[in-house]
Structure 1
């Protein structure tokens, strides 16, 4: 088994070379992976837009952040480096909060984050950007969040937002609690204690999960959504893979994770309107398409204010939008050109199709792709 991923150290750089972990197009098996393209150049995958003989790009991109993007980043890196063999891309799935901090300090060239920059972060400086300029949030990855569980004898599970909130707050502590039983009349629920697994690191997935509960069950989940899990309950685990491992190897466990990582675990349906709904990429995309941009931001900042209170059962409101956080004006112009090309590929129709194939992501709508492309075109 591979151990926990190396932590980024600005004096030593990113942990690189995933050649020993297997083929670069493989789906991430653990959150412990610092994704890099050294082995990706060996991939036989088709180039996304240009061939190795025509590419003039060269250099290295270091990025860090959301572990939810892990499988997509691995596929994106493999495809992009096949087309641009003189480019090396390193992505450390250290978590959204760590990724934003690393980028702000100049330790990486862009960040992946499941939550957009807070106002106070925007007001600070970004070491990679030209002084006096700031960074912007560009949506590049849309995915459902799966409520994963491992309960002996239970294959199907229905939960509404209120019950889910009480489980993760620690108000509901056994699987045969009357509130759960009322939603699952046909299930044989054991008296097993519930172990609710949350992210121990600052996580945009946590913020999105908390935002859903706060919007839909505000009388129970009273804490303001944040990257840090707000309650002293349950069990913490590092990164997406840490949560998945804890749920998989525990007894009576439940957790939340990017849907691409659910694997063979049980996945609960959540109540939307009068129906219990399972996740699909289309249902996740529908919520994003019906949500406005965050008000009061610069015109080139595309942070989305998700509206999760829908009662339309064709929508799955427990969704995350993951961003590439970039400078539009890089202090190092050559680095800016590399980021412009790579993030441009991530957000393109080809890149979105690759993320859908490799990670089960929901592609950006044509309208959102156009908006993102317009901002990327200004990066320098």
Structure 2
């Protein structure tokens, strides 16, 4: 787990648009099988049930899950969760197959692909819910000797990732970086080769923000047709960090780990740096389009927006759970873990490279978690 790393970038979010809400102030002692809180928690937790949960999916949230597990172990003695960061596509498949207790995906279940119906079948005929537990910015991370300050926009990013723009000194890039000395060097695109919700969100962003330059569509598989594919977030970040002239799309914490430079994004209102203010301003504009306790977000309102000072390239990772259909022990443990993740676990997210839950989402999440049966 990463610690003390990312506070300079997102550490102040909790003081702005992303303040956590305190839903309770009990400070009771205790461990397993009884409602309990700590001074840092915003909700009582009913520990107990299955002692070791299993989950699989998004590699983007791996470091957040590590933080949640640590908080869960502290809160519910003897309880644990094993998480396999295999990618969003695998997480959905394993959840539907009943191989894990919940899945992690950077995209919600797809009705058109039959995932909604298949998940309901796995849940004994009950709907599965998409619960947005982890927010994080996606960086356009690059390695280019001598260029530490770079601005891109949706149109130019689309042309880079579909192979239309091939050189770092292409006039389209130069026009956004007046006065910069850009080398006559080939651009090496690094993309996710496995099914990835990060890829899906990135391609949705390109669709919304490129002014028609991205015509390949969205989805968990990269459709740009150029570059070198690597598995998982760590894989693309490591590959980009090893090649001068490389660029990739990856969650911020992984870009930082591999010492990648991070491009500013011009969303139509000027170049926006990825920092706590710009991330908070963007997430504050996200809305929920799901119904009831199925908390699917409408991130399209962020991707194509030209809000001044808002960093437009973000993703939310969902924990995909059964609304009903678990056995009693599994339901109790799933509810306990998710409650801790939504409360105590949020305290360590800024240091791990993520944004703490916005207040409105935290309240809705706790309502949904409590309703799991």
Instruction: Settle same-fold status: TM greater than 0.5.
Output: yes
Matched, 1:122 2:116: yes
> 2: distance between equivalents of 1:327 and 1:66?
18
> 2: distance between equivalents of 1:220 and 1:51?
57
Deviation string 1:108-133 (CA, Å, 9 cap, x unpaired) is 1011111111112112245652x111
The answer to which structure, 1 or 2, has the higher relative contact order (CA under 8 A, 6+ apart) is 2
> 2: distance between equivalents of 1:344 and 1:113?
18
> 1: distance between equivalents of 2:70 and 2:27?
14
Deviation string 1:122-158 (CA, Å, 9 cap, x unpaired) is 12245652x1112110111111100000011111111
1:11 paired residue number: none
Deviation string 1:170-218 (CA, Å, 9 cap, x unpaired) is 1111111111111112222111111011100110101111111100114
Measured after TM superposition, the shift of residue 288 of structure 1 is: 3.0
Matched, 1:187 2:187: no
Measured after TM superposition, the shift of residue 85 of structure 1 is: 2.7
Equivalent in 68, 72, 90 of residue 64 of structure 2: 72
Measured after TM superposition, the shift of residue 50 of structure 1 is: 8.5
Deviation string 1:5-46 (CA, Å, 9 cap, x unpaired) is xxxxxxxxxxxxxxxxxxx56599xxxxxxxxxxxxxxxxxx
> Kindly tell me: are residues 115 and 151 of structure 1, through their superposed partners in 2, closer, same or farther at Cα, counting changes over 3 Å?
same
Matched, 1:83 2:78: no
Measured after TM superposition, the shift of residue 245 of structure 1 is: 0.6
* Alignment check: 8 A CA contact 1:52 1:85 kept: no
* Alignment check: 8 A CA contact 1:281 1:360 kept: no
> 1: distance between equivalents of 2:211 and 2:100?
37
> 2: distance between equivalents of 1:80 and 1:125?
26
Within a 5 Å distance, the mapping from 1:159-178 to structure 2 comes to: 159-178=152-171
> 1: distance between equivalents of 2:239 and 2:120?
35
> 2: distance between equivalents of 1:265 and 1:251?
10
> 1: distance between equivalents of 2:176 and 2:363?
42
2:138 paired residue number: 145
Within a 5 Å distance, the mapping from 1:91-130 to structure 2 comes to: 91-119=83-111, 120-126=114-120, 129=123
> 1: distance between equivalents of 2:349 and 2:149?
28
SS in 2 for 1:262: helix
> Kindly tell me: are residues 51 and 342 of structure 1, through their superposed partners in 2, closer, same or farther at Cα, counting changes over 3 Å?
farther
Poorly superposed stretches of 4+, deviation over 6 Å: 49-52
Within a 5 Å distance, the mapping from 1:313-328 to structure 2 comes to: 313-328=308-323
> 2: distance between equivalents of 1:112 and 1:52?
31
TM-score of the pair, normalised by structure 2: 0.84
* Alignment check: 8 A CA contact 2:130 2:296 kept: yes
> 2: distance between equivalents of 1:291 and 1:155?
30
> 2: distance between equivalents of 1:168 and 1:177?
14
2:345 paired residue number: 351
> 2: distance between equivalents of 1:269 and 1:125?
38
SS in 2 for 1:377: helix
Total equivalences in the alignment: 332
SS in 2 for 1:314: coil
Range 169-178 or range 215-224, more displaced? 215-224
Matched, 1:311 2:306: yes
2:40 paired residue number: none
> 2: distance between equivalents of 1:250 and 1:52?
53
Matched, 1:256 2:249: yes
Measured after TM superposition, the shift of residue 326 of structure 1 is: 0.6
TM-score of the pair, normalised by structure 1: 0.83
* Alignment check: 8 A CA contact 1:285 1:364 kept: no
Unaligned runs of 5+ in 1: 1-23, 29-48
Measured after TM superposition, the shift of residue 281 of structure 1 is: 3.9
Equivalent in 54, 63, 80 of residue 62 of structure 1: 54
Equivalent in 271, 295, 300 of residue 302 of structure 1: 295
SS in 2 for 1:75: helix
> 1: distance between equivalents of 2:89 and 2:363?
27
